[in-house]
Chain A
Amino acid sequence: MTQPKSLPHGGFEPDVVIVGSGAAGGMAAYALTRAGIKTLVLEAGRDYDPVSESAMLKWNHEAPLRAISTPDKQFGYYDATAGGGWEVPGEPYVNAPGTTFRWWRSRMLGGRTNHWGRHVPRFGPYDFKGKSRDGFGADWPISYEDVAPYYDRTEKLIGVSGANSGLENHPDSSPGVLQPPSKPRVSELMIQAAAADLGIPCVPSHYAILTRAIEHRHAPRQACFYATPCGRGCAIGAAFQTTTSLLPMALGTGKLRIVTNAMVSRVVTDARGRAKGVEYFDRTTGSTHFTAARVVVLAASACESAKILFNSHTAQSPQGLANSSGQIGRSLMDSTGTDIFGHIPALEGRPRYNEDGKDNAHLYIPFWLYKEQAAGKLDFPRAYHYEIGGRFEMPGARFGLAGAEDGYGLSLKQDARRYYGAQVSFSVRGEMVPNADSYCELDPDAKDKYGLPVLRFHWKWSDHEYRQIAHGVKTAKQIIERMGGRVLTPEMPPEQAIQSGGEIIHEVGTTRMGSSAADSVTDGFGKTWDIDNLVIVDGGVFPSNAHKNPTLTIMALAWRSMDHLASRMRKGEI
């Protein structure tokens, strides 16, 4: 590695350097700059502007191959992901023999917030204390009550539409926090009716999608106009992404600088073992640079931050920086997932209307069996939910008749009209119990294009997850059948039905927080036990991974941790 040459950020000397500009980094930058702290964000990806770049209102036939996913654009041509996907050119990762973990990354300002699903359920009280409830995994060192005020503030700031359900372990937001929910579509209502008949709730979902505009001098955001899938990035700012909200808001304070194409390779420490800055590659030239700061905040996403710490090893900490517990890379978790599809004759040929809506189901099925689970009546310990689907979708390259295509001629056209909008889907998203066989480490041989060792993943589901998936599949089939529907998904064992590790893109846990330096990497504020001025704010800090999609919690925790950091800095503790 060559020696640092220059400071390419115009002489700006930051107090804090943040690595990454996605959900975690964006929130950290927002919280620090509003506390008046001079902050530098280093982002590996290129600059990105959804206002000018996202393909709003484009039709599928205007894109190559009707916009279908290809190895170049793995979620379709119009998906906002720049420079990434399941593989990032020049930045490989490795799977240990016999295991599969898939790692979705992007290389753009704003990270994966530019194209994520925006489903933002809150964790509930049980979700922070899983081990106390059932003996598995690890408790969090903090409780729901610690995070609740930050959930309210985060929901209000990022803009969440939905409604409170009042259900067990699905906490309500405080009055005035949520924006109005959107009216459900016909198939969602039919699922709701069938589910109700089976004693299963189906309630308004929470999405980080505005149904009311948010005025802001530096980041004005419009309400959703109910057209264009959010995965393309939302040029009007209705779907939350840091590039149209937290980053411009933070820049507006005058306290923030952002450097893109800055790939951080390691945290640099001084003789006393304290962080003194980071070293990074300019991705466009390959040159290396050093940036000094009083505090280093890692927000590169769970596995990336673990990788940076591994690669920051020193003579004093040969197993990686801040790794005296040996927990870096361990406890890697994703959500469980599988999809169940059904064809519903009662939805065939139904009256047409515009079903675009917010680009996600306006209802969802939260977990409803906590009492049964606590009473030992279920054969799996952790909860799941269903994200449901079914609507008159913009026809795309996979347009089809649910496997009923036959013959040719006028009957084929008639079948297409009849089948359109008559399919429903249930996506199971469940909590996994962390296990000793699921972790990441540095591969001893493989290197990326910068010459840095890359991650090697190990992965294994356990019977907890298989039994949960089996329950989710069975129950979804019951709902489909209650609608008089035909289940399209063939019978398969849960070992086959469950998606691969990483595929739900909720990877967390690799730098977990805890109440003791012996078995965790950070305290309850993301501060590493070993290094006082090194803080982690991404999903790496999760000791467990509730079935509820993680990003709202990542952001609420990042804000909380940065408030804590700001007060320590104010008090002169750092």
Chain B
Amino acid sequence: MTEISRRVTLAWIAAASASAFAAGPSKAAQNGSPSPWNDAAVPPITVPGYGHDPDLKAAAVPWPLTLNPHQRAILRLAADLMLPADARSPSGGSLPLDAFLDEWISAPYPQQQQDRALIVPGLAWLDEEAGRRLGLDFVSASDAQRRAVFDTVAFRDKVLPGYEQPAQFFARLRGLMLAGFYTLPEGIADIGYLGNTPLSGDYPGPTPEAMANLNASLIKLGLKPFSPG
């Protein structure tokens, strides 16, 4: 399996933590001080999960969704900014990413609960930060204004002092939106995954074009190319 498992990721985080926070003393926040981060009021989910032996062919989400319409609206707008439409796929906000995020943070499992404690306050923070800057909430702000809020936290090397927690929220939101998006049919078409189709006969292997590309790369690396075909 090539998927980097959560266990491995945690080990890496542990290994990296020695260096991660050596960023030096924080400068005074530009643009005034950031909106406070409030994670006090996120009630945990206590409903049961789908159990050890669910029906694999009739999958269903048994837990109730918990986000309100305003939170879902923030998510849709955020998804539009995060993954805008282009020639290869529609925008994140036009796909049910808000529903996916709601399903995710409403699930009764530890990882999802941990994300819940980041995402729910994060959505409130987007409103607060927009409000502090503009006197409007995130939904009522203009596209450019929403970008200005995103810009404070979206770029790993440019996170302003005092914005560390919102930046952590943003990174997680981005990760979840990427996963939510590229697992949907539109995202799968965009990324060019061509499998999950039963084939008859032997597995055909790489196309001539893929082999030619590989061989060109091997030559550049000073490695021996394969005979085509």
Within 8 Å CB of B22, what residues of A? Answer: none
**Contact check: which of A72, A232, A406 meets B49 at CB < 8 Å?**
A72
Q: Say whether B195 contacts A355, CB under 8 Å.
A: yes
Q: Say whether B203 contacts A226, CB under 8 Å.
A: yes
The SS class assigned to the B binding surface is: loop
Q: Say whether B150 contacts A408, CB under 8 Å.
A: yes
Q: Which of A190, A389, A497 has the most CB of B within 10 A?
A: A190
Which of B28-36, B68-76, B170-178 lies at the binding interface?
Answer: B170-178
Within 8 Å CB of A499, what residues of B? Answer: 7
Which of B38-46, B52-60, B122-130 lies at the binding interface?
Answer: B52-60
Asked if B6 lies at the interface with its beta carbon under 8 angstroms from chain A, I say: yes
**Contact check: which of A71, A78, A197, A492 meets B109 at CB < 8 Å?**
A71
Q: B209: shortest Cβ distance to chain A, in Å? A: 5
**Contact check: which of A54, A62, A80 meets B59 at CB < 8 Å?**
A62
Given A396-B3, A405-B175, verify A353-B183 contact (CB < 8 Å).
no
For the complex, count residues of B whose C-beta is within 8 A of A: 87
**Contact check: which of B2, B59, B83 meets A423 at CB < 8 Å?**
B2
Given A77-B56, A400-B175, A416-B178, verify A197-B84 contact (CB < 8 Å).
no
A-B CB contacts (within 8 Å), total count: 269
For B204, the closest partner residue in chain A by CB is A183
Within 8 Å CB of A326, what residues of B? Answer: none
Q: Say whether A185 contacts B205, CB under 8 Å.
A: yes
Q: Say whether A232 contacts B206, CB under 8 Å.
A: no
For A419, the closest partner residue in chain B by CB is B191
* CB under 8 Å from chain B, chain A span 460-481: none
Q: Say whether A77 contacts B59, CB under 8 Å.
A: yes
Q: Mark B139-152, 1 if CB is under 8 A from A, else 0.
A: 00000000000100
Within 8 Å CB of B217, what residues of A? Answer: 190, 346-347, 350
Q: Say whether A190 contacts B218, CB under 8 Å.
A: yes
Q: Say whether A70 contacts B49, CB under 8 Å.
A: yes
Q: A183: shortest Cβ distance to chain B, in Å? A: 3
How far, in whole Å, are A60 and B4 apart by their CA atoms in the complex? 17
Q: Say whether A425 contacts B2, CB under 8 Å.
A: yes
Q: Say whether B179 contacts A66, CB under 8 Å.
A: yes
Q: Say whether A389 contacts B191, CB under 8 Å.
A: no
Which of A271-279, A483-491, A504-512 lies at the binding interface?
Answer: A483-491
Q: Say whether A350 contacts B213, CB under 8 Å.
A: yes
Q: Which of A65, A225, A488 has the most CB of B within 10 A?
A: A65
Q: Say whether B174 contacts A89, CB under 8 Å.
A: no
How far, in whole Å, are A499 and B53 apart by their CA atoms in the complex? 27
Asked if A391 lies at the interface with its beta carbon under 8 angstroms from chain B, I say: yes
The SS class assigned to the A binding surface is: loop
* CB under 8 Å from chain B, chain A span 367-403: 389-402
**Contact check: which of A78, A228, A395, A397 meets B191 at CB < 8 Å?**
A395
Q: Say whether A425 contacts B53, CB under 8 Å.
A: no
Q: Say whether B109 contacts A70, CB under 8 Å.
A: yes
Q: Say whether A397 contacts B183, CB under 8 Å.
A: yes
Within 8 Å CB of B4, what residues of A? Answer: 339, 341, 398, 400, 402, 488
Q: Say whether A71 contacts B49, CB under 8 Å.
A: yes
Asked if A409 lies at the interface with its beta carbon under 8 angstroms from chain B, I say: yes
**Contact check: which of A53, A183, A354, A407 meets B155 at CB < 8 Å?**
A407
For B12, the closest partner residue in chain A by CB is A490
Asked if B192 lies at the interface with its beta carbon under 8 angstroms from chain A, I say: yes
* CB under 8 Å from chain B, chain A span 403-457: 405-410, 412-413, 416-417, 420, 423-425, 427
Given A190-B214, A406-B156, verify A392-B195 contact (CB < 8 Å).
yes
Q: Say whether A496 contacts B100, CB under 8 Å.
A: no
Q: Mark A331-357, 1 if CB is under 8 A from B, else 0.
A: 000000001010000110011111111
Known: A58-B59, A406-B156. 10 other contacts (CB 8 A): A53-B57, A57-B196, A62-B59, A194-B221, A353-B206, A355-B195, A408-B154, A413-B89, A424-B2, A483-B223
Binding site for B on A (CB under 8 A): 46, 53-55, 57-66, 68-73, 77-78, 80, 82-85, 89, 180, 182-186, 189-190, 193-194, 196-197, 211, 224-228, 232, 339, 341, 346-347, 350-358, 389-402, 405-410, 412-413, 416-417, 420, 423-425, 427, 482-484, 488-492, 496-497, 499
19 contacts between A and B (CB under 8 A): A46-B53, A66-B179, A66-B183, A72-B49, A72-B54, A183-B206, A186-B214, A193-B223, A197-B222, A225-B199, A226-B195, A341-B8, A389-B1, A395-B179, A395-B183, A409-B81, A425-B1, A427-B1, A492-B15
